[in-house]
Amino acid sequence: MPAPNYRGRFAPSPTGPLHFGSLVAAVASFADARSCGGEWLVRIEDVDEIRRRPDAEPLILGSLQRFGMTWDGTPVRQSERRRLYAYALETLVKKGDAYRCNCSRKQVTETSTRSGPEGPIYPGTCRIDPPAIGAAAAWRVAVPDAEITVLDRVCGPITQNLRNALGDFVVKRIDGYTAYQLAVVVDDHEQGITHVVRGADLLWSTPRQVWLQTQLGYAHPAYAHVPLVYATDGSKLSKRDDAHPVDETHPVQTLSAAWRHLGQSSPSTAIKSVSEFWSWAVPRWHIERVPIDMDRLHD
């Protein structure tokens, strides 16, 4: 079904070259966008400038080109969009949704009485007793005791109570960098993204993002989380672990492997070039065939 207003994106963090796991996410979002006649944007998620590797962005963009995934417009960089994030934080502060916090990680661990899937749950110390005016502080959002349900296009409905599972989470770090959860919500909104297709490691970030969208008065994109690629020891392939860069010597075979990982039918062996691959693949993309990443389904 063509969606005339479809706008998707691939949002790599420039922490290393593209690896097979991120190629799978790129292939899924590209195929989903193009099969709907939609646009596909690339956003470089370098909000965390400490983890950014200067050579990673050209490596990733070069790989996308060699795999025949041409983006619309010019890629944007989060490092150039700090004013947008500051404005969104100001909105949250004005609404009374955000508060300053200068608890160290150690203090949070020591004072927390509950642990969730992402570690110790912040007990709200600074919500009750704010840091002195002028002291360096992070910003947290005060989350509600309410269930947030997201209907994922691959994984089905997922529900999370933000207060029980995560507690008040950080949207701006004490070192001044905006946290991923806020930056991604602002960018998806500001770029008019209608469909997010990404790796299942971010499935349980989605309720937080949907809640932030509601608080900021933004529309909610549709979400689809595709299965991760695991290394032989069961760990997720990740740039941070120095996962091997994706094999570009046989790009059609590599694309075909990503395609099969996404549960799609095997391409014909007669395909000789990446452009032939995409002409064959785009009309054959079926999101309903993408397998659910069962390891990530429960938070």
Quote the CA–CA distance of 153 and 180 in Å, as a whole number.
Answer: 22
Quote the CA–CA distance of 75 and 81 in Å, as a whole number.
Answer: 12
Q: Which C-beta is closer to ligand GLU: that of 202 or that of 212?
A: 202
Q: How far is the CB of 53 from ligand GLU (least distance, A)?
A: 13
DSSP H stretches of helix in the chain: 20-35, 56-66, 82-94, 105-111, 125-128, 162-165, 180-190, 206-216, 251-261, 274-281
Q: How far is the CB of 8 from ligand GLU (least distance, A)?
A: 10
Q: How far is the CB of 279 from ligand GLU (least distance, A)?
A: 26
Binding positions for ligand GLU, rule: CB under 6 A: 11-13, 45, 184, 198, 202
Q: How far is the CB of 45 from ligand GLU (least distance, A)?
A: 4
Q: Which C-beta is closer to ligand GLU: that of 19 or that of 100?
A: 19
Quote the CA–CA distance of 52 and 258 in Å, as a whole number.
Answer: 26
Q: Which C-beta is closer to ligand GLU: that of 13 or that of 277?
A: 13
Residue 19 CB: number of other CB atoms within 10 A?
A: 20
Q: Which 3 state secondary structure label does DSSP give 14?
A: coil
Strands 138-141 and 156-161, by their bridges, are unpaired
Q: Which C-beta is closer to ligand GLU: that of 135 or that of 151?
A: 151
Q: How far is the CB of 198 from ligand GLU (least distance, A)?
A: 4
Sign of CA dihedral 250, 254, 255, 260: positive
Quote the CA–CA distance of 188 and 55 in Å, as a whole number.
Answer: 25
Q: Which C-beta is closer to ligand GLU: that of 11 or that of 101?
A: 11
Q: How far is the CB of 49 from ligand GLU (least distance, A)?
A: 14
The CA angle 81-87-88, to the nearest 5 degrees, is: 95
Q: Which C-beta is closer to ligand GLU: that of 262 or that of 271?
A: 262
